[in-house]
Amino acid sequence: KAGVTQTPRYLIKTRGQQVTLSCSPISGHRSVSWYQQTPGQGLQFLFEYFSETQRNKGNFPGRFSGRQFSNSRSEMNVSTLELGDSALYLCASSLGTGGDNEQFFGPGTRLTVL
């Protein structure tokens, strides 16, 4: 069974631009969560989607948004990029919602903002 895939793996953008990251969950998984990983903050929860609905949102500004499609694939969008948005963005999928559902992570998209 294929794991969680994320595209692109690496991305370089400049301040003010916008970016869209994509995540394909494990087949059959309906929950997709997004995390931002930075050296100083560790992994921080961005948001979770389940059945095309945003179920939870972390403490990030409105520039960070996402959506989920009917096939459970998810996209994350960051508008008006700032230098501090440089990070590894990880997507995780699970069968259901709830913290005790085992999450499977993708390899991440490394975003560099210049």
Smallest separation (angstroms) from another protein to the CB of 65? 17
**Under the rule (CB under 8 A), what is the footprint of another protein?**
4, 33, 35, 40-45, 48, 50, 55-56, 58, 90-92, 97-100, 102-108
- Choose between 81 and 93: whose C-beta lies nearer to another protein: 93
> What is the rounded CA–CA span in Å between residue 16 and residue 41?
23
Smallest separation (angstroms) from another protein to the CB of 94? 9
Report the SS3 class of residue 72. Answer: coil
How many other CB atoms sit within 10 Å of the CB of residue 37? 14
- Choose between 2 and 100: whose C-beta lies nearer to another protein: 100
- Choose between 45 and 75: whose C-beta lies nearer to another protein: 45
> What is the rounded CA–CA span in Å between residue 74 and residue 27?
13
Instruction: Compute CA distances 8 → 14, 43, 88, 91, 106, whole Å.
Output: 16, 19, 12, 12, 11
> What is the rounded CA–CA span in Å between residue 47 and residue 2?
23
- Choose between 18 and 38: whose C-beta lies nearer to another protein: 38
Smallest separation (angstroms) from another protein to the CB of 1? 15
